[in-house]
Amino acid sequence: MHTVVVGTSGVTASDVLAVARADARIELSEEALTALAAARGIVDALAAKPDPVYGVSTGFGALATRHISQELRTQLQRNIVRSHAAGMGPRVEREVVRALMFLRLKTVCSGHTGVRPEVAQTMADLLNAGITPVVHEYGSLGCSGDLAPLSHCALTLMGEGEAEGPDGVVRPAAELLAEHGITPVELREKEGLALLNGTDGMLGMLLMALADLDTLYKAADITAALSLEALLGTDKVLASELHAIRPHPGQGASAANMLAVLTGSGLTGHHQDDAPRVQDAYSVRCAPQVAGAGRDTLAHARLVAERELASAVDNPVVLPDGRVESNGNFHGAPVAYVLDFCAIAAADLASIAERRTDRLLDKNRSHGLPPFLADDPGVDSGLMIAQYTQAALVSEMKRLAVPASADSIPSSAMQEDHVSMGWSAARKLRTAVDNLTRVLAIELYAATRAIELREGLTPAPASQAAITALRKAGVEGPGPDRFLAPDLAVADAFVRDGRLLAAVESVTGPLA
């Protein structure tokens, strides 16, 4: 099994995906253990002094003015976890919780939090044992960290609350820890606070969304190319010299992908045949511009994610010179903005894909295809309602594109008077990614059927590879009406798990 070694300088996006989605094992480096011990020595020294230090010997948030006596500090750390574990709503997905826990461990190992080495090791032990705390959807405002979600994770570390075992069954955390020989942690000065103060949930969801969207943007170039073929469009608009004079990197990459898919097509270039067209509709002609803008948005989001991965987000932080200083680095705005930006780009990509699908089904705009791609129009309805489903998905994605990060509701008696709502931005982006997959699956379903209805014309080899693979996956070609939902589900899985991309790349080589 793949092992991820956590040091003091952060982790990579692939490390997070390996732990969250592939259950990679975790080891703490000697460098991290040394840094943890050194930072803890600073916290212990400050805790022994009579002067109040925020997070070490004081209350939290609006209650930070109270100096906490030594005999109450263990109770203070335990209480902050219990009281902050106040989430509600549906359970958050296992992969999200694993990413959340791993990213908090990454920051703990930076040596800037003051957490004891044994606490960090226990966090790694939980992940390695496949124990996943029950975390609820609502509770984070994306400021002072993803407080409620992280608190539910810290509660499991203490042997309290509920968690899911490696068998997928939810049970009391104390039972699961005992079964795996893990001793619950008794938190000391600053440790409760250090386990809760981070942007880890929103960052984990951003990293997973970026990985999924990387595949989906390539899939969107493929489905756009298939639709162009099915509509007998021209590929001249994809020429590299046209995109070089507007040098947005994503646009050039998207156009090159489409051109690679269409190489050798016998369907392109027929726009001057029976019903001559000077140019194709925007949804076809401008596909690289729209998908390309989304690609460039993802590139910016990756830059933000990489910076966040290299960060130690906590408050207060332990500095190398021995100071423990309060700060505002836990504010989720940088991550929240790009989460919202990705949702906007995904919605627009889905919107243009839906327009191409609708064009394929409209006999007045499809350039010779039967209405709704039906076998016997009137008797058969064809893909009429598949487009309704696609439209419903796109409509929801437009609502999900409304920025969460533009909102703020003050909390903690106005101490935390401006929050990021980054967790909410991440949650809606996950839904948007799921919906985009379904939208592209429906365009794929329609475009492949339409190409097969162009009798006497041969699609590009890459297009034919996609059609053949889809048919082998269990999606039937043109014919009388049948129960469509199972076909669409198979098409969805075909896009989602990368089989569409793999089929095309078997001909074209790697797409950009």
The string of DSSP letters for 376-437 reads: SBTTB-TTHHHHHHHHHHHHHHHHHTS-STT----BTTTTB-----HHHHHHHHHHHHHHHH
- Whole-angstrom Cα distance, residue 195 to residue 353? 43
- Whole-angstrom Cα distance, residue 476 to residue 505? 22
The string of DSSP letters for 308-329 reads: HHT----SSEE-TTS-EE---T
The string of DSSP letters for 331-361 reads: --HHHHHHHHHHHHHHHHHHHHHHHHHHHHH
- Whole-angstrom Cα distance, residue 15 to residue 302? 15
Sign of CA dihedral 400, 338, 205, 344: positive
Q: What is the H or E stretch that residue 119 is in?
A: helix 117-128
Which phi and psi (to 5°) does residue 61 adopt? Answer: 60, -130
DSSP 67: B
DSSP H helices in 453-483: 461-472
- Whole-angstrom Cα distance, residue 20 to residue 94? 8
Distance of CA 209 to the CA centre of its chain: 2
Beta partners for 58?
67
Write the burial class of residue 21 (CB in 10 Å: 0-12 exposed, 13-18 middle, 19+ buried).
middle
- Whole-angstrom Cα distance, residue 208 to residue 429? 10
Sign of CA dihedral 221, 224, 230, 236: negative
Instruction: Indicate which residue of 54, 138, 282, 445 is catalytic.
Output: 54
- By 3-state DSSP, what share of the chain in percent is helix, strand and coil, each rounded to 5? 55, 5, 35
Q: Is 388 a catalytic residue?
A: no
Token pair listed for 160: 């309290």
For residue 279, give the amino acid letter.
Q
- Catalytically active residues are 54
